[in-house]
Each structure stands twice: as C-alpha cells, then as structure tokens.
C-alpha cells in the first residue's frame, strides 16, 4: 500500500467513499469522497490562478475545514506550505519571510485588519504584528473582507468552490511540502523542510502506533495528529477557535469530546482538563479510548493523575522533534512501570544510535530534507541524552541545557549571545524552573552594566523584537553576579536556579 498521504486518502475515497472524514465539532463532516474531490478542486483552482509547482505559501490561518483543505490542495498542486507564527514579532517575521521567499500568502482577514488599520487595537491586546497587507505576494484571505485586506486578495471560498471534478495530480515525493521554523533569532532563522515523502512517512508511522482505524473519532486541532487519523480511515473533528483566540481552551475542548474515541493534548493542557474533571466542573469524557500526548515531556505524576480520572483511557507519550516526527511512542502504563524516563521503541523506519557523549542521534524516512539553504541532512542530533534498555529508548538528560515550555524547546545558548549584545547587559543566563508536569518557567538572570538604569524594563521591551516570542522569559531577575563552577568558570546553572528561586519567592 502506498505511503503517500494524499494517495492514501484517494484510496479511502474509492473503498469507503461515504465514511465521515473531516469536519468541525457539532457539524456534518465531509465524506472521504467529498474530501478528496475538494482537494482536487483546490489544486485545479490554484493552478488556474497561476500557482506553480515549487511555489511557497505563507500560512497564517487557524485550523478549520477550509484551511486544512487549502493545505492539502497546495501540496497536491506541488507547492509547499510555510508555517510562520505572526506573533514572533515584525523583525523576526521579516527575516523568516526573506529566507523563505514566498510567492503566495494565505491569511485570516482579521490579521490584515489588526496589523493594518486596527494596529492600535492589536497593540492594546499585546499584539505586535507584521503588516500582512504589504507582503509582495499573491494573497488569499479567509473570512469576510476587512479593511487592510489587499484589494486583489482572493477569497479562500473561491478555491473551494465549483470546478470540474479532477483527479489529484501525480505526487513528486522529493518536492518540498511543509516548511516549519524552529526557535531562532533575527541573526539565524532556521526553517525545517519536509518533503512529501518525509511528511508521509511520519504520518504513516504515527498512525501505526495508535489505535486509529475506520470507526474511530478523533478530536484535535493538530495537523500532525489529524492527518494520521485520515490516513487510517478514521474521522477527524476540529474544535472551534474563539473569535480572537489563538489557543483552544482545554476545558471547553474536553467538555465537547462527547462521542470522541481519541484526542490529543499537550501535557499542560491535559493538566488543566484534569483539574476541571477532578473538581467536578465537567464530566469525564464518556467514550474516550485513547489520548496521545506530545509537544513536551510527559511526567509520571501527570500520568498517575490521568489514569485515576480516566481509568478506561489509554495514554500514549509521543517523542519527536520538528525535524523527525514521531521518533518513539510509549504507553502510559509502560512509562509508569519503568524506573527511568521511558521513550519507547523507535517507530518503524527510524534508526537510533547513541553517540560517544550519550547524545541520541536519529535517521529514517521521516527525517526532514534539512534546513532551508543548507546541505541535506542524513541524520539529526536531538540534544537529548539517552540509552537503550533492550529495544526501548530511555531518556537520561538534556544536552546544552535545553528547556521546554509548553510545546517549545528552548536552547539558552541560542539566545544568550543575542541578549548579552543588548546595551546595558554585561551577562545573561537563562534557566528553567520545572513544575510537577515538567513544564518550565523561563527565568533570565542578568548582570547589568554600571549606570545601565532599569535594564529589566529595557529587556522586556526589546526581547520580543530580537528573539522568538515563544522564548521570551517569564521573569527577568537582575543579579550581582552569575554563579560559576569548575576551572573554566562555566556558569553554574544549578546554583543559579536555586538563587533565582529564592529571589522570586
């Protein structure tokens, strides 16, 4: 059976044409036949509008049925979807756009308005957005036309409208399909390039480690979980976003699961949902058979809580990274029974080895092509330290002091030089203070130059402009000195964590 994800969907359209495929919670879902026909129409309409194979499309539309269809149609037409978070700040956004050189952009009309005529309103809500309307690309807008939307922008509904039924174009497995930026700075933006083959291999591997199958019903807004559900012949329902929100409320999400058999959570969101279930604010979902957890470490403390509140639900901890996903999957029961931090056996096709210094190094068909503008990758060093216990991977630590907040891996060494270069800063070290679910509060400790004034206030204003907003520290603490250790006076991060904890309590 072919592993190309669009070809797999076309196969379902022939075998189970009337089965429910993709929809929004509370609304009728598209069948597999309707889904594949819609993707074919979009690819046809994109071609008619001048879209060419190899074109790159900036994508800033929240997950919905039309936006997912546009993603599929763009890839079917031979193009690449470029996910760029508009909240990273104008400077970093501009650097990323310059690196990618897109020819198209698909944007919610609200973003055009809030980054243009209503920019003042956006700033009051803490949004410092790039001006989407000034991008020198062909524009597609989602939603009603609003002030700030370019006059020649094409409504998304025009691409999903009527067109002769057409088969999906032939797949080019080596074509770039998905480009995603990793954490970075204005000096060194990095874009991960997945080909259609590497994307499809990852989706197939993900589905192979879950119980997703025809008849299963998944709720999630995450593309990398929804796509494996469709490849498996299951039904995927997308939750509704708040009008001005960029994040799904985990309590409301859980309350709306109802007949869902499968769901995806980040560990932080699951903890919030468990709080609501344990307090009696919402009932436990009655039909939930399996929950996939990813985006951050899954702790045994969280799994114990989850098993107590949802005893009939199986939990899966997914380990991976943007460059290669998934890598390994462990059941909650196996993690709780293991003495170490169990990651599980590598998924089919992934080749894992342990380097001399203990770092986990990976290769496989789901490895990205590489970073945009760089040489292709043959393997990737994870930054994690691990060992094998039989055929199972066990995490033993982190290399380069990596921290994790929410779904973001934060490497202090990437940001500290940029922060130290800001006027008034003599030294800057970032540390993470972990909570019981493994999420970390990021604290920046700085030593100020004499007569620097309120350097903390300067940094709060400046940092969102020069580093990822996902890496901006939760707290900034000015200290007299950074603790050091060893002959080389290396920063003593353990001592610094203790110091900043005392200062913040």
Residue with tokens 């700030």: 148
Question: How large is the average pLDDT for residues 432-440?
Answer: 81
Span of 176-185, 247-256, 387-396 with lowest mean pLDDT: 176-185
Span of 292-306, 310-324, 353-367 with lowest mean pLDDT: 292-306
Confidence band of 486 (pLDDT split at 50, 70, 90)? low
pLDDT (tens digit per residue) in 385-424: 899 999 999 988 777 677 888 878 787 877 887 888 888 8
pLDDT at 92: 82
End-to-end CA distance of the chain: 58
Confidence band of 427 (pLDDT split at 50, 70, 90)? confident
Residue 203 has pLDDT above 80, yes or no: yes
β partners of residue 81? 57, 178
Residue 165 has pLDDT above 90, yes or no: no
Confidence band of 116 (pLDDT split at 50, 70, 90)? confident
User: Distance of CA 126 to CAs 87, 405, 414, 422, 464, Å?
Assistant: 10, 20, 25, 22, 11
pLDDT (tens digit per residue) in 269-308: 898 999 999 999 999 999 999 999 998 778 887 898 899 9
User: How large is the C-alpha radius of gyration of the chain?
Assistant: 23
Residue 351 has pLDDT above 90, yes or no: yes
Residue 107 has pLDDT above 90, yes or no: yes
What does the alpha-carbon distance between residue 264 and residue 227 come to, in Å, rounded to a whole number? 12
Q: What is the mean pLDDT of the chain?
A: 90
Q: Which residues of 87-100 are buried (b: 16+ CB within 10 A; e: fewer)?
A: bbbebbbbbbbebb
Percent of the chain with pLDDT over 70: 94
Question: How large is the average pLDDT for residues 120-140?
Answer: 80
pLDDT at 452: 87
pLDDT at 445: 94
What does the alpha-carbon distance between residue 201 and residue 443 come to, in Å, rounded to a whole number? 38
* Cα dihedral sign, 44-49-50-54: negative
pLDDT at 401: 74
Residue with tokens 């992934």: 350
What does the alpha-carbon distance between residue 215 and residue 249 come to, in Å, rounded to a whole number? 26
Specify the higher pLDDT residue, 424 or 188: 424
Residue 436 has pLDDT above 50, yes or no: yes
Residue 431 has pLDDT above 90, yes or no: yes
Specify the higher pLDDT residue, 92 or 489: 92
Contact 52/151 with Cβ under 8 angstroms?
no
pLDDT at 86: 78
Span of 188-192, 274-278, 331-335, 387-391 with lowest mean pLDDT: 188-192
Residue 490 has pLDDT above 80, yes or no: no
Q: What is the dihedral of CA 495, 501, 504, 505, to 10 degrees?
A: -130
Residue 329 has pLDDT above 90, yes or no: yes
Strand ranges for 101-211 from DSSP E: 104-108, 138-142, 154-155, 176-181, 191-195
pLDDT at 2: 46
Percent of the chain with pLDDT over 90: 65
pLDDT at 130: 80
User: Distance of CA 222 to CAs 171, 311, 347, 363, 478, Å?
Assistant: 24, 24, 20, 24, 38
Domains parsed from the chain with CATH numbers:
5-171 (3.40.50.12780), 199-398 (3.40.50.12780), 403-504 (3.30.300.30)
For 335-404, the three-class secondary structure string (H helix, E strand, C coil) is HHHCCCEEEECECCCCEEEECCCCEEEEECCCECCEECCCCCCCCEEEEEEEEEECCEEEEEEECCCCEE
What does the alpha-carbon distance between residue 226 and residue 262 come to, in Å, rounded to a whole number? 10
Bridge-based pairing state of the strands 341-344 and 392-398: antiparallel
As given in the structure block, the two tokens for residue 267 are: 């560990």
């Amino acid at each position: 059976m072919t592993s190309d994800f669009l070809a797999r969907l076309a196969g379902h359209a022939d075998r189970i044409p009337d089965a429910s495929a993709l929809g929004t919670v509370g609304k009728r879902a598209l069948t597999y036949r309707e889904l594949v026909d819609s993707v074919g129409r979009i690819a046809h309409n994109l071609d008619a509008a001048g879209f060419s194979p190899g074109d790159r499309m900036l994508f800033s539309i929240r997950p919905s049925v039309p936006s997912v269809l546009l993603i599929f149609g763009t890839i079917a037409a031979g193009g690449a979807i470029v996910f760029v978070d508009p909240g990273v700040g104008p400077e970093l956004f501009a650097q990323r756009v310059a690196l990618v050189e897109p020819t198209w952009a698909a944007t919610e009309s609200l973003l055009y308005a809030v980054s243009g005529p209503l920019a003042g309103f956006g700033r009051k809500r803490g949004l410092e957005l790039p001006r989407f309307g000034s991008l020198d690309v062909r524009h597609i807008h989602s939603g009603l036309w609003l002030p700030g939307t370019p006059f020649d922008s094409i409504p998304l509904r025009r691409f999903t409208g009527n067109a002769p039924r057409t088969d999906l174009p032939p797949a080019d497995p080596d074509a770039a399909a998905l480009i995603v930026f990793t954490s970075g700075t204005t000096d060194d933006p990095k874009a991960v390039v997945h080909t259609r083959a590497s994307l499809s291999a990852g989706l197939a591997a993900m589905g192979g480690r879950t119980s997703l199958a025809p008849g299963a019903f998944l709720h999630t807004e995450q593309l990398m979980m929804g796509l494996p559900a469709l490849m498996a012949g299951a039904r995927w329902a997308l939750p509704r976003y708040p009008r001005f929100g960029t994040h799904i409320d985990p309590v409301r999400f859980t309350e709306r699961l109802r007949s869902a058999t499968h769901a995806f959570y980040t560990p932080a969101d699951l903890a919030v949902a468990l709080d609501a279930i344990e307090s009696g604010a919402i009932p436990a979902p009655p039909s939930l058979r399996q929950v996939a957890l990813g985006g951050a470490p899954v702790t045994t403390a969280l799994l114990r809580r989850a098993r107590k509140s949802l005893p009939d639900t199986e939990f899966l901890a997914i380990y991976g990274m943007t460059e290669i996903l998934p890598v390994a999957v462990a059941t909650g029961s196996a993690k709780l029974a293991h003495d170490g931090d169990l990651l599980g056996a590598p998924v089919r096709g992934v080749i894992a080895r342990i380097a001399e210094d203990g770092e986990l190094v990976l290769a496989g068909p789901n490895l990205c092509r590489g970073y945009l503008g760089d040489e292709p990758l043959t393997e990737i060093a994870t930054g994690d330290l691990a060992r094998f216990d039989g055929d199972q991977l066990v995490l033993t630590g982190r290399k380069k002091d990596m921290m994790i907040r929410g779904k973001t891996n934060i490497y202090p060494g990437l940001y500290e030089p940029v922060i130290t270069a800001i006027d008034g800063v003599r030294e800057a070290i970032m540390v993470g203070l972990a909570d019981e679910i493994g999420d970390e509060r990021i604290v920046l400790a700085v030593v100020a130059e004499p007569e620097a004034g309120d350097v903390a206030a300067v940094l709060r204003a400046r940092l969102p402009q020069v580093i990822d907003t996902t890496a901006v520290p939760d707290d900034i603490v000015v200290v007299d000195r950074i603790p050091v250790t060893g002959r080389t006076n290396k920063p003593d991060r353990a001592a610094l964590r203790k110091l900043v904890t005392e200062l913040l309590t």
